[in-house]
Amino acid sequence: MIHKLRVIFADTDQMGIVYYANYYRFFEASRAALLRAHGSNHKEMLSWGAALPVVESHCRYRAPANYEDLLEIDVRIGEIRGASVRFVYQIHCRGTLLVEGFTVHACVHPDTGRPRRIPPQLLTLLQSEPAESEIRAEEE
């Protein structure tokens, strides 16, 4: 799924280039959009007794993004295991690959923080096709 996001001034450093750590925020925004496209969200996951904290992350920077760039974040589910899921990301701007990375999320019970198997509702959701193939940025 492609999630489009416009770089705002607050995402950049004094040179107008996206600050490196903000790419993880972009990953999170695209991951949330993917869950919505699958018909759910983080609040609903909590009601199923599941939270997905990040336990591993990686980001490879290939080219910078700048203030006002419209980013296209390709987010996909890479691997589902019994109690974890990996999301993979590629961020493009004007056809150029800027960033690629992944996050791994453990499935835990939101009240105890203890690992648990992915609940059936969430597993079904993650294995389904998203309802939308593209989500547009609020401001293009």
Amino acid 30: pLDDT: 97
Amino acid 132: pLDDT: 58
Question: What is the spatial distance between Cα 72 and Cα 79, in angstroms, rounded to a whole number?
Answer: 22
Any idea which residue has 């750590």 for tokens? Answer: 21
Residue of 65, 90, 59 whose CA lies nearest to 76: 90
Amino acid 131: pLDDT: 74
Amino acid 92: pLDDT: 98
Domain positions in the chain are 2-130
Q: What is the mean pLDDT of each run of 10 residues along the chain (140 residues)?
A: 97 96 98 93 93 98 98 97 97 98 98 96 90 53
| Cβ-based neighbours of 13, under 8 Å, separated by 6 or more | 19
Amino acid 45: pLDDT: 93
Strand partners, 76: 88
Exposed, middle or buried: residue 1 (CB in 10 Å: 0-12, 13-18, 19+)?
Answer: buried
Contact by Cβ (8 Å): 18, 66: yes
Structure tokens at 131: 């309802």
Which CATH number does 2-130 carry?
3.10.129.10
Amino acid 139: pLDDT: 46
Amino acid 105: pLDDT: 98
